[in-house]
A and B are shown apart, each in its own frame.
Chain A
Amino acid sequence: TFAHADGLGLGRDALPEEIAAWDKDVSPDGTGLPEGSGDALTGEEVFADKCAACHGDFAEGIGNWPKLAGGWGTLDREDPVKTVGSYWPYLSTTWDYINRSMPFGDAQSLEPDEVYAIVAYILYSNDLVDDDFELSHENFAGFEMPNAEGFIVDDRIETEFPKWVGEPCMENCKDEVEVTMRAMVLDVTPQVESGEAESP
């Protein structure tokens, strides 16, 4: 056990079953997916049972809870609706996130086949597949999401830095200063009880 020739010899070897228990992330090419499958109709039942209370029967979202479907073609509008169908670039993320972190409050309780079925249902809710569509570890990597090409790597260094570098204006920088917006008018700030600070 003194094999750590280059280090301090701290820690111990991770066992395969320990790595399998914790390393569940799925990459865009499907690496990390377990074997399994599920179709949209089965997914509808699982979704109704475990997801719809927050996300709605049709994945449309209830109240302030996230919408998982809809919003197609809204990304360049005033209030874009960002859902799995309208925004998410990779299907792997949907599988991975549901598998590890949903349902909210009861995470890591789903079997792989249930996750495949739920993901298939979410695709169906987004009009991306028919209701007889079956998703499996075998056809997973071939599925392309509508907004897959909708992302660019951070380009601030090229698009912003050159504009905002150098000695800034110090005097006579503008002629007029007029108030164009006031938070007081919107009045959505939590109110602190007057005198709270001074209460004896």
Chain B
Amino acid sequence: MTNRTSRRSFLAKGLATGAAATVAGSANSATSDPLITEVQPWAQGLGDGVDATPYGLPIEYEADVIRRNVDWLTADTISSVNFTPIHALDGTITPQGCAFERHHSGAIELRKEDYRLMINGLVDRPLVFTYADLERFPRQNHVYFCECAANSGMEWAGAQLNGAQFTHGMIHNMEYTGVSLRTILEEAGLGAAGDLAGKWVYVEGADASSNGRSIPMEKALDDVLVAFKANGEALRKEHGYPVRLVVPGWEGNMWIKWIRRIEVMDGPVESREETSKYTDTLADGISRKWTWAMDAKSVVTSPSPQSPITHGKGPLVITGLAWSGRGAITRVDVSRDGGKTWETARLAKPGERMAVSRFYLDTDWDGEEMFLQSRAMDETGYVQPTKTQLRDVRGLNSIYHNNGIQTWWVRPDGKAENVEVS
């Protein structure tokens, strides 16, 4: 008890010192900053040796930059989803350790030694590959986003979850190393398939859910990868170790993890994941199927509900992410007044096809409330719609593919809230 009390009072004192230090940091400071005038322990003693951390984790002060889940979304945590802390990240590459997960029968453990990939169906020669075989094919490297079809799905009926992590965090963006699916299909030989127009591949995982999906041959032969490395290292267990499918621009469900079999077929299987799920019901009760591409979308990641303004008026960096499954992001506009007026933001670098772009609006905040929005445009000329525009076409029951413009209401105190505006 005594310890706890003293610890608490120490913390309170520490906070007070911190506040004083902040004031001391201002231009009109009269008192000197002890963080500068007093020798600090890290400037005197020694840090950790190089043998302390063979494989490191983030420093403890970044403990809030983690995946989070929402209990009430799913019946259990096995067939469920968690969310990337996009509100706290910058740049475009998602650290694998906090990149979102979506499983249907949990994250399985599959050793490279136990791994097998089968190619069968309408091929000249059904084949079995080991993991070691896959590493002997010519490799490619590409950065792509993987966005769950259900990202922002809870927001169809209105503002519900308070934070960019929860409203837009079913996404990650990684640099993949892998083999072109075309190369692997050609190894088995597609002569048996005859005219490839109208042919399909069916891909399934090694887990109990299998997550089987049908992919048209045109896409399979275009840019799909059989990937085994992400951001330079092996895939994480929860992201499909040792091998997953990478399907640029298309809904995350099709990025089959722990991929074990690819079958060339005459038609789509119409599996559970493309009939019961990942079909989008319109207002009249008719449902779209095969809504594969993820349309252009963006979100301001800071300021946002989990990343409030704490520095008061003056220079403010408004930043966020934009992406499109139909090509490169060409422009992002930002509004501070709920869409009355727009300013074109700065892209950190030219947009890359089917990859996340980072945008910045370097601005000066007068301390007044803002209704922050971002609006992405892609190389097809498509402009990210408002949620109202989407609902006018689709109604409220689509579940998937919500790429409507997000609004954050930033108050004079710097706090931000997920809202919808007229």
User: Within the assembled complex, what's the spacing in Å between the Cα atoms of A177 and B339?
Assistant: 8
B286 touches A150 (CB 8 A): yes
User: Within the assembled complex, what's the spacing in Å between the Cα atoms of A33 and B420?
Assistant: 49
Produce 1/0 per residue, A171-198, CB < 8 A to B: 1111111111111101011101000111
Chain B facing A: main interface SS: loop
| B186 contacts across to A, CB distance below 8 A | 6-7
Closest to A176 in B: B422
Produce 1/0 per residue, B188-203, CB < 8 A to A: 1100000000000010
B260 touches A178 (CB 8 A): no
B64, B126, B162, B421: the one within 8 Å of A189 (CB)? B162
B163 touches A107 (CB 8 A): no
Which among B26-34, B93-101, B228-236, B266-274 touches the partner chain? B266-274
A13 with B342: in contact, given A25-B204, A64-B75 (CB under 8 Å)? no
B14, B63, B136: the one within 8 Å of A196 (CB)? B63
| B61 contacts across to A, CB distance below 8 A | 197-198
| B160 contacts across to A, CB distance below 8 A | 183, 186, 188
B389 touches A14 (CB 8 A): no
A11, A100, A176: the one within 8 Å of B128 (CB)? A11
| B340 contacts across to A, CB distance below 8 A | 171-175, 177
User: Within the assembled complex, what's the spacing in Å between the Cα atoms of A72 and B292?
Assistant: 27
B11, B70, B125, B383: the one within 8 Å of A164 (CB)? B383
A14 touches B127 (CB 8 A): yes
| B64 contacts across to A, CB distance below 8 A | 192, 196-197
User: Within the assembled complex, what's the spacing in Å between the Cα atoms of A184 and B420?
Assistant: 12
A153 touches B339 (CB 8 A): no
A183 touches B162 (CB 8 A): yes
B159 touches A168 (CB 8 A): no
Nearest Cβ in chain B — how far from A116, in angstroms?
Answer: 17
B342 touches A190 (CB 8 A): no
- Count of A interface residues, CB-CB < 8 Å: 85
Chain A facing B: main interface SS: loop
B288 touches A154 (CB 8 A): yes
A152 touches B287 (CB 8 A): yes
> Cβ of B1 < 8 Å from any Cβ of A?
no
User: Within the assembled complex, what's the spacing in Å between the Cα atoms of A63 and B184?
Assistant: 44
Interface size, B (range): 35 or more
> Cβ of A42 < 8 Å from any Cβ of B?
no
B289 touches A10 (CB 8 A): no
Which among A43-51, A89-97, A118-126, A128-136 touches the partner chain? A89-97
B105, B125, B133, B285: the one within 8 Å of A80 (CB)? B285
> Cβ of A27 < 8 Å from any Cβ of B?
yes
Closest to B209 in A: A101
> Cβ of B218 < 8 Å from any Cβ of A?
no
A13 with B125: in contact, given A169-B342, A184-B162 (CB under 8 Å)? yes
Produce 1/0 per residue, B327-341, CB < 8 A to A: 000000100011111
> Cβ of B393 < 8 Å from any Cβ of A?
yes
| A168 contacts across to B, CB distance below 8 A | 333, 342, 375, 377, 383
A11 touches B129 (CB 8 A): yes
User: Within the assembled complex, what's the spacing in Å between the Cα atoms of A184 and B158?
Assistant: 12
B79, B269, B290, B338: the one within 8 Å of A154 (CB)? B290
Produce 1/0 per residue, B229-257, CB < 8 A to A: 00000000000000000000000000000
User: Within the assembled complex, what's the spacing in Å between the Cα atoms of A175 and B295?
Assistant: 28
| A90 contacts across to B, CB distance below 8 A | 270, 275
User: Within the assembled complex, what's the spacing in Å between the Cα atoms of A161 and B383?
Assistant: 9
A107 with B208: in contact, given A183-B417, A189-B163 (CB under 8 Å)? yes
Nearest Cβ in chain A — how far from B66, in angstroms?
Answer: 10
28 contacts between A and B (CB under 8 A): A7-B189, A8-B187, A11-B128, A11-B129, A14-B126, A14-B127, A22-B260, A23-B120, A25-B202, A25-B269, A64-B74, A90-B270, A90-B275, A93-B270, A96-B269, A96-B271, A101-B105, A101-B209, A101-B210, A153-B289, A154-B291, A164-B382, A165-B381, A168-B383, A181-B420, A182-B419, A183-B161, A184-B417
- Which 5 residue pairs are nearest across A and B when measured between Cβ atoms? A177-B338, A76-B285, A75-B285, A64-B75, A107-B208
Known: A152-B286, A161-B380, A163-B393. 13 other contacts (CB 8 A): A8-B136, A8-B187, A13-B128, A25-B204, A28-B270, A80-B285, A93-B270, A96-B272, A153-B288, A160-B385, A177-B338, A179-B421, A192-B306
